[in-house]
Amino acid sequence: MNVFKRIHDIFSSNVNHALDKLEDPAKMIRYTIVEMENSLSKAKDSAAKTLADIKARVAELKVQKEAVGRWDVRAQLAVRSGKDDLAREALSEKQSATVKVTALETEIAELKNINASQESQIVKLTEKLEEVKAKERTLVARAEHAKEKIKIEKQISSTDCSAAIKRFNEMEEKVERLEAEAAVAAKNYENEAQFTEMENKDSIDQELEALKAKLNGSAPAENQVVEG
């Protein structure tokens, strides 16, 4: 019974299945823990049965060893009594009990080896179960991270980036056109201000000259009036 290989296969299968199908990692890990607990319970039941078998065989071995001794004493007693037939019967029973003793000793040794293997598996399975329980939260977090990573990778692979790049380039060109228009508008405003300033200055100069001409032209007439 390779309990650990079965547990490892179940755990690996469940992890891969959960990530592929984007299942709930917490639920999957909890299911794995339950499976391990069930396997541990079965392993303990099997070990307990083996111990019970060993105990029963040891008790039977004691009976058969006592039978060997008892038939040996009877065989000796029959020989001393000159009863060879009874001696032969006692020796036959002694041999039968001896064969049973040998068989029981072999069976007990095998059962003890089986029980030692079972106890070793129980210890290892218990340690592995405690390790999984201790790491349950971390495993869930790692599984969730892996699941989200798979989602993101799938989204990236299914997204048409060319459309987004095209929209970005169009927006960049639009911004550049707006900047150019703003620069032209600023230049035009500066030129317009200069032209306005020059026009105003020219108008003032013209008005000044007209005023001077008017004043210069009216001065003689006034002098003539005074002199008369």
The two structure tokens encoding residue 45: 């039941």
Q: Please determine, for residue 216, whether its predicted confidence score (pLDDT) is greater than 50.
A: yes
- What's the pLDDT at 222? 46
CB atoms within 10 A of CB 191: 9
Fold entry, domain 3-159: Helix Hairpins (1.10.287)
**Per-chain mean pLDDT for the chain:** 80
pLDDT of residue 223: 47
CB 137 within 8 A of CB 33: no
Q: Residues 23-71: pLDDT tens digits?
A: 677 787 788 888 999 999 999 999 999 999 999 999 999 999 999 999 9
Q: Where are the domains of the chain?
A: 3-159, 161-228
Residue 132's pLDDT band (boundaries 50, 70, 90)?
Answer: confident
Pairwise pLDDT comparison (77 vs 33), residue with the higher score: 77
Residue 16 confidence class, pLDDT cut points 50, 70, 90: low
Lowest mean pLDDT among 75-84, 102-111, 174-183: 174-183
User: What is the C-alpha separation between 15 and 20, in angstroms, rounded?
Assistant: 9
3-state helix, strand, coil in the chain (%, to 5): 95, 0, 5
- Residue-wise pLDDT for 137-180, tens only, equals 887 787 777 777 777 777 666 655 666 677 778 887 887 787 77
